[in-house]
Amino acid sequence: MAMSSIEIVKTPWDETLRSLVGDTRRDLRVMSPYVKERAVKQVLEALPEGTTMRLVSSFSSAGFHRAVSDTRAFRRVIERGGQVRNYQRLHSKVYLFDDTCGVVTSGNLTVRGLTTNYEYGVLIREEAALKQMAADFSAVWRHKDTGIIDLAVLEDIDDLVQRVPRPPTPALAEPDIKTLRELWGDEYDLLLKGGEEAAIATLSGWQLDVFKALTRIRSPLFTLSEVYEFEEELQARHPRNRHVKDKIRQQLQCLRERGLVKFLGGGRYKKLWD
């Protein structure tokens, strides 16, 4: 009897995931905004030798501080030879196993998303749909606002987060989106409390200078044009650099990968600290 091209997948689906990962021979592709080490460990243990893993997530320094995601999880992927990228507008949870099947689900790559929360999705084997999913993954992977994450970036995030006092209440395993929306409307990004002092203590050079410029912009939302207003001041601090605007954009990207700035598109940005 032929397999159905679409099957329902709901929690607990950790065993299904491990089985699908174990049958993957070339390329495991995952999109998940929140990622935890225990879930990644399960995936990597099932991943055959020689199979690559590409992981797209959404980086926020406050998220790491609140234990929504673990830097250790991404470190495991990189140390296994995989690749990690940061796309901050990501909300989708997609798992692609070679070109044979894919899962679209509400479940993040966390133990709660695999076993505890009531998550719901579909396992797809239909060829045309898989081609579209693969094309969409590639588009996000190569997007101009998608940043490359390496071990050095993860070390910088750890250094930053460790300098911020832990909140008095227990860390959220995953954010309560309803509560966050009530607080901030549709802009429910977690903000790193005390992040300004920690960032100033950990950043250096151009990154520090651009970050300090951002602290002088009063609004949590700002534009590239507003940052360019500090061009002469930054030029004076770095007289040998003749491409200050290019350098500003580069440093905003670095601050994005460290989860301190969110790109909103169209030259608009948001501070992820408070």
The burial class, CB within 10 Å (0-12 / 13-18 / 19+), for 45 is: exposed
In a domain, 136, yes or no: yes
* CA distances for 74 relative to 14, 124, 234, angstroms: 19, 26, 34
In a domain, 88, yes or no: yes
Instruction: Quote the pLDDT of residue 53.
Output: 98
Average pLDDT over every residue of 83-111: 96
Average pLDDT over every residue of 151-178: 75
Query: What is the C-alpha separation between 149 and 13, in angstroms, rounded?
Result: 28
Q: pLDDT, tens digit, for every residue of 221-250?
A: 999 999 999 999 999 999 998 899 999 999
Amino acid at 195: G
Same domain, 122 and 244: no
| Strand 52-57 relative to strand 27-31, pairing | parallel
Same domain, 13 and 138: yes
Could you tell me the residue range of the domain that residue 126 belongs to?
Answer: 6-152
Average pLDDT over every residue of 8-24: 96
In a domain, 169, yes or no: no
Same domain, 122 and 218: no
Same domain, 38 and 103: yes
* Residue 21: CA count within 13 A, CB half-sphere: 24
Last residue within a domain, chosen from 152, 171, 191 = 152
What confidence category does residue 47 fall into, taking pLDDT thresholds of 50, 70 and 90? Answer: very high
- Specify the range with the lowest mean pLDDT, choosing from 48-57, 171-180, 226-235: 171-180
Q: Which of 256, 254, 257, 231 is CA-nearest to residue 244?
A: 231
User: 3-class SS at 273?
Assistant: strand
In a domain, 46, yes or no: yes
In a domain, 62, yes or no: yes
Query: What is the C-alpha separation between 150 and 78, in angstroms, rounded?
Result: 7
Task: Supply the pTM of this predicted model.
Answer: 0.85
Question: How many domains would you assign to the chain?
Answer: 2
Residue 89: pLDDT above 60?
Answer: yes
- Specify the range with the lowest mean pLDDT, choosing from 114-128, 138-152, 178-192, 260-274: 178-192
